[in-house]
Amino acid sequence: MLYTPEQILIRDTAKDFARQRIAPHAARWERDGFDRRELLSEIGKLGLMGVCVPPEWDGAGADFVSYVLATEAIAEADSGICNMVNVHNSPVCAALCEYGTREQKERYLRPLARGEIFGAFLLTEPEAGSDAGALQARAVRVGGEYIIKGTKQFITSGRTADIAMILAVTEPEAGRKGISCFITPTKNPGYVVVREEDKLGHRNCDTCQIAFEDMKVPASDMLGEPGAGYRIALANLNSGRIGVAAQAVGVARAALDSAVRYSRERHTFGKPIIDHQAIGFKLAEMATQVEAAHQLTLHAAQMKDAGLPCLKEASMAKLNASEVAERVCSEAIQVHGGYGFLNDFPVEKFYRDARVFRLYEGTSEVQKLVIGREL
């Protein structure tokens, strides 16, 4: 597709920032840590923490294709940081835009869009991942408050976030129609970070287990109507899957670029290894796969922008891009030979980071189920 001037501007803004401010430091940050909030604030000043939020709420007011292009650009530098940006944008900001009251938008959406505070999405539980209807967290109303009890697992930005978007059961007998959504500060008493997970990849984002120990949430912090939580979660499902596809494309492209650079520099038998057909063909296949995943992701994003149903397309993009990312990152290591196995070169990090794309926002197996049903 041909991009509009606005889409190009947002893509290039994200790419320039990522290359200058993130990429040179990402590997060191994994080892030594860094101030995540400071970095996210910088990203917010560029308008990338509220890409699709209307300007009236201090967002960039851009389309979803622009969001996808920005996602790819940031993921090329570090997909863990990109994941924090994505969760903040969608579902947190997206859900507030669609379901928030004016007071909630003033209190939460406006500073979120500016990148002054940060959001997390608390859906997954130790025994409830893709099956959102199996949630065990409970929210019981007592006067003007809800008391929330339960545990959430694999929460991106669980420690960093100021605002939590929480799915909890308010009417157990109503099944999925008894799940409600809350948008509330993490400083509320009872929000407890149990632990920050030690992960294979995405080490630059905090992935946490969160416990609600009689956490008190004002009734005014319910997002949407009682029982609307499952619908709110599903409404942002396509956005999340397209976002993960874009992350995967970004990482795959970074691995491809590294492999091309190395193959130009590395010489065997008197010439660069890129001139050997075995390597040249491998790179050609990798490049074709990355471009195909990119286009499939853009197609799903365009359909979303057009207001068209895109459940199948979002799942196809996510399935394809996540599988391509792992395959391309593995091949990039192969091109590097033994050096690809060392953390002196970036491809080992790309390989670690790529593995999770087949897991979150619905595993590859779940995507196949969705696509099959749509067929």
Burial class (CB in 10 A: 0-12, 13-18, 19+), 344: exposed
Closest by CA position to 121, among listed 240, 273, 20:
240
Q: In whole angstroms, what is the distance from residue 70 CA to residue 65 CA? A: 9
Task: Please tell me the predicted confidence (pLDDT) of residue 131.
Answer: 78
3-state secondary structure of 171: coil
Comparing C-alpha atoms, which of 227, 209, 215, 166 is closest to residue 187? 215
Tokens of 342: 């060392």
Tokens 């391509």 belong to residue: 324
List, in order, residues 6 or more apart from 260 with CB less than 8 Å away. 274, 283
Whole-number pLDDT of residue 133: 76
User: What does the CA dihedral 350, 356, 357, 362 come to, rounded to 10 degrees?
Assistant: 180
Q: What residues in the chain have per-residue pLDDT under 50?
A: none
What is the structure's pLDDT at 129?
A: 78
Give the per-residue pLDDT at 114. 98
Q: What's the pLDDT at 318?
A: 98
List, by residue number, the catalytic residues.
361
DSSP letter for 145, please: E
Encoded amino acid at 340, one letter: G
